[in-house]
Amino acid sequence: MSGFETIIFDKRDGVGYITLNRPHKLNAYNMQMRDDLYDVLGAVKDDDEVRVVIFRGAGEKAFCAGADLSEFLTAPSPIVARQVRWERDIWGRLLGVPQPLIAALHGFVFGSGIEIALFCDIRIAAEDARFGLPETTLGIIPAAGGTQTLPRTIGRGRALEMLLTGQQMTAADAFQSGLVNRVVPRETLMVVAEETARKIASYDQAAVRACKEAVVRGLDMSLASGLKLESQLSAHVSAARRKHHKVKSLIKKERST
């Protein structure tokens, strides 16, 4: 898949790579990137060859330094902007991707950058990564889920401190708060991300996807409802495995006769 203006998509050995590719703009999220991500995420969701996805940023300075305010703050009327947003709901698409999403984060991870990362399932940060949601310092608020995903990840108090003061986090702070899963040297960031992705890709994909679904959906349920969901998904995975083994046995039997 090619032809995108602001991202690069590639897939190798079951791993899909989505690279934010505006390094001259610190990979700032603009309207074209919104459209490109919308298209690629839709394709990835339906691509059984892609078992895991890694998000990364091109260049040495940033994963994504936030929204391109030169575009978003000069957008058309709020009514038109809201309609465009509805038609290109990137954040809904990110939530709907059944494959595990891994964010490989370096440099600036601000605004929309941290929001993209928060929609990923596993976040691995380089030692040089810095995190922040500076919207309130600009007289606006996060509009891509930051007020909802951040407190769900690091807790209400820490999230409000970042959101209300514009305070930044170092990679070490992000790890301590639970914002990222691991912190690694910059030169090994992609090595670690790819090792993690390949490990996940090597497992039974029905089980992997069901496990992700159980956690993502279950967090918005009561414990009782979550346990019921887990039981249903477990039964579905077990039935699929039995069917798969039965088919393999029949094929083996036919070949031996």
The phi, psi pair for 35, rounded to 5°, reads -65, -40
Q: Which of 71, 135, 230, 254 is catalytic?
A: 135
The answer to whether 171 and 128 have CB atoms below 8 angstroms apart is: yes
Residues 6+ apart with CB under 8 A from 139: none
Long-range contacts of 228-237 (CB under 8 A, 24+ apart): 234/210, 236/206, 236/210, 237/204, 237/206, 237/207, 237/210
Q: Any bridge partners for residue 170, and if so which?
A: 130
Element of type H or E holding 16: strand 15-20
The answer to whether 198 and 141 have CB atoms below 8 angstroms apart is: no
Q: Can 115 be counted among the known catalytic residues?
A: yes
Please tell me whether residue 227 adopts helix, strand or coil conformation. Answer: helix
Q: Which of 5, 60, 87, 115 is catalytic?
A: 115
Closest CA to 45 of 212, 228, 180, 203: 212
With left for phi above 0 and alpha for psi between -120 and 50, is residue 99 left, alpha or beta?
A: beta
130, 169, 194 from 165: Cα distances, Å: 15, 12, 35
Q: Any bridge partners for residue 108, and if so which?
A: 62, 130
DSSP 17: E
Active site positions, annotated: 115, 135
